[in-house]
Structure 1
Amino acid sequence: MRQAALAAAFFLLSGAATADEMVAVCYGYGCSAQAEIRYSTGQQGEVRRLLAYAGDPASERIILGKVVGRLYRWAGEQSPVREDRGGNYADSDAPGKMDCIDHSTSTTRLLEMLQRLGYLRWHRVLAAEPRYLLGVIANHWSAVIEEKGGGRYVVDSWFVNNGEPAVILPLEEWKKGAGPDV
């Protein structure tokens, strides 16, 4: 009996998923459409196990890029975002196409889910940020995380095709235009 109680306490305290999570993912440019995506307890457990391998902030960022890609791949199994391609032009008129507003909003929501579940040990989620063209026109947006006691980083899924790892860069480099050319 005591072993069962200890096992139950360990399960609850370990951050193990106990219910499906729902996250609204934007698409259609400007978040004009949304799909409610269900992440099962099994999927959450897979993500938790991946992130548990992170031994420091840098490794958590590497794994986090892969996790965000995996979350989008699962979202694509439930919605038209499976058709999204990196940038704004490769997906043409695909029904699930996403611009940077869709990505920054959705990726922030996905990161907030991971944070709420207790899966992020080295980072916290901040509000999405813009980068400016010529210092005056917000021409691109991205989700942002902050290393606990350290720097800020963008988690930018807009650069890649659906299901591929998100690009993670220092915020200040990204604001100066860093990132893949799409």
Structure 2
Amino acid sequence: MGGIENKGDTLYICHGFGCEYRTAVTFSQKDKQRLRTILKRGHRSPEAERAAISKAVQWQENRVGPVVGSSNDIGGLDMGNGNVKGQMDCIDEATNTTSLLVYAGSQGWLKYHRAARPASRGFFLDGKYPHASAVVVDTTTEIPWVVDSWRLSNGKPPDILHMTKWLNMTSADLENPSGR
């Protein structure tokens, strides 16, 4: 995941599958205030912060969409859009979400979580398609949670799941990953 790069208030957004393209997006003071406000709503508890992280990921996807061309990014496995600017696979999504989480952490906006290295699962040989996701660690329990924005289209809520559950998911679980 060498595509993770932040410089000051600029995040480099991956798209085109496998970070084929990287587009710089600089957050304005208004952007920073909005993101801070979203994340501050989560300061009551780790669970509330994970809900705020979900909102922050949605905000970022909507914010960068017009700049990157990803406003119409199709969620899930869509091999027909490989190398298409603005379309994102799980590597792009995991990298972009991790960049946002690293940025938020560096600003002091996360109270109960820290960004961790992205996680991966599936090797074809185990009957699962390879997949990657961003990860946060709950600092009160040291339990890792995936923040997976790949399954649904741009701007939709990411799946936030306990790492163990995410690692054991099957294709059937993708239809209803959080048991909703």
Please report the TM-score for the alignment, with normalisation by the length of structure 1: 0.81
- Equivalence for 2:116: 126
Aligned positions of 1:19-98 closer than 5 A: 21-54=9-42, 55-89=44-78, 92=81, 95-98=85-88
| 1:108-144 deviation digits (Å, cap 9, x = unpaired) | 1111011111110000010001012454977000000
How far does the alpha carbon of each residue in 1:54-109 deviate from its partner, in whole angstroms, 9 at most, with x for none?
Answer: 20000100111111111111010211122211112297475311111111111111
How far apart, CA to CA, are the structure 2 residues paired with 1:27 and 1:87?
Answer: 14
1:163 pairs with 136, 155, 180, which one? 155
1:144 aligned to 2:100?
A: no
**Overall identity of the aligned pairs, in %:** 29
Distance 1:89 1:136, change over 3 A: closer
In 1: Cα distance, 2:72 partner to 2:129 partner: 26
**Equivalence for 2:169:** 177
- Which SS does the other structure have where 2:59 is aligned? helix
Q: Letter of the 1:47 partner, please give it.
A: L
User: Following TM superposition, by how much is the alpha carbon of 1:181 offset from its aligned partner in structure 2, in angstroms?
Assistant: 2.8
Q: Secondary structure at the match of 1:61?
A: helix
Unaligned ranges ≥5, structure 2: 1-7
Q: Is the 8 A contact 2:21 2:85 kept in 1?
A: no
Maintained 8 Å contact 1:70/1:165? no
Aligned-pair CA distance for 1:173: 0.3
The answer to whether the Cα contact below 8 Å between 1:105 and 1:143 also exists between their aligned partners in 2 is: yes
Whether the 8 Å CA contact 2:90–2:133 is kept in 1: the answer is yes
Per-residue displacement from partner, 1:153-178 (whole Å, max 9, x unpaired)?
Answer: 00111012111222111111000116
Aligned-partner Cα distance in 2 for 1:96–1:107 = 15
CA RMSD of aligned residues (A): 2.2
Q: Is the 8 A contact 1:126 1:144 kept in 2?
A: yes
Which deviates more, 75-84 or 121-130?
75-84
Please say which structure displays the higher CA radius of gyration: 1
Normalised by the size of structure 2, how large is the TM-score?
Answer: 0.82
- 8 Å contact 1:70–1:164 — kept in the other structure? no
**Greater shift after overlay, 136-145 or 68-77?**
136-145
Judge conservation of contact 2:120–2:133 (CA < 8 Å) in 1.
Answer: yes
Tell me, yes or no, if the aligned pair for 1:66 and 1:164 is still in contact at 8 Å. no
Structure 1, gaps ≥5 residues long: 1-19
